A and B are shown apart, each in its own frame.
Chain A
Amino acid sequence: GAGVSQTPSNKVTEKGKYVELRCDPISGHTALYWYRQSLGQGPEFLIYFQGTGAADDSGLPNDRFFAVRPEGSVSTLKIQRTERGDSAVYLCASSLGGPDTEAFFGQGTRLTVV
């Protein structure tokens, strides 16, 4: 596609439910990032993939959060037993990889846990 695509754009779920958020990166981009952002804050780093493997998952807040990228393209962020505090905009970005490359962001998924 022309840009990074995130689906759904909005998701409302009940506390305790499981959710999956999808990110389709730009074709050919080997690096993929997930962030979450609360109102008035900067994007909080969650996890970074190079290809299929998680190069850095130090930002995942706890074991309820998990992300996969099985074929080195599409990635899914999975959140188990959602809590109201998980409500935020979840942003995905991709880049060609390498230190001097820019990241392209999707428009985010707004997750609301009620």
Chain B
Amino acid sequence: SQQGEEDPQALSIQEGENATMNCSYKTSINNLQWYRQNSGRGLVHLILIRSNEREKHSGRLRVTLDTSKKSSSLLITASRAADTASYFCAPRSGNTPLVFGKGTRLSVIA
């Protein structure tokens, strides 16, 4: 299993702005998953992008994957105060466990 490294560690933006966070990993993957965590409790799955996909959308979320650079980005458009949370990526190879990095702490200021 491998863990992703999220960047930046912290991000503060105004409501309505877009937020971009990045994830880098080291070895080849089958997919990469993004999760959100509010208030230090359970994580919530946001989106899964497979290794043969380059971009995926879900509502205000847009995820890209560049396997040649071993990196992914998560874009949240038109951010809201409710998007304030920590965001984690989990690169996955085969049936290995999901392993998380330190995450990006996003603060959206109303």
A residues adjacent to B (C-beta < 8 A): 4, 33, 35, 37, 39, 41-43, 45, 48, 50, 55-56, 59, 89, 91, 93, 97-100, 102-108
Q: Are B94 and A99 in contact (CB under 8 A)?
A: yes
User: Known contacts being A99-B30, A99-B31, A100-B31, is A105 close to B100, with CB within 8 Å?
Assistant: no
Residues of B within 8 A of A43 (CB): 43, 88, 100
User: Known contacts being A45-B1, A56-B1, A103-B45, is A39 close to B95, with CB within 8 Å?
Assistant: no
State whether the Cβ of B42 lies closer than 8 Å to any Cβ in chain A: yes
State whether the Cβ of B75 lies closer than 8 Å to any Cβ in chain A: no
Residues of B within 8 A of A39 (CB): 40
State whether the Cβ of B8 lies closer than 8 Å to any Cβ in chain A: no
Question: In the complex, A50 Cα to B94 Cα: how many Å?
Answer: 13
Give 6 nearest A-B pairs by CB, closest first: A105-B42, A48-B97, A102-B45, A42-B100, A42-B102, A105-B43
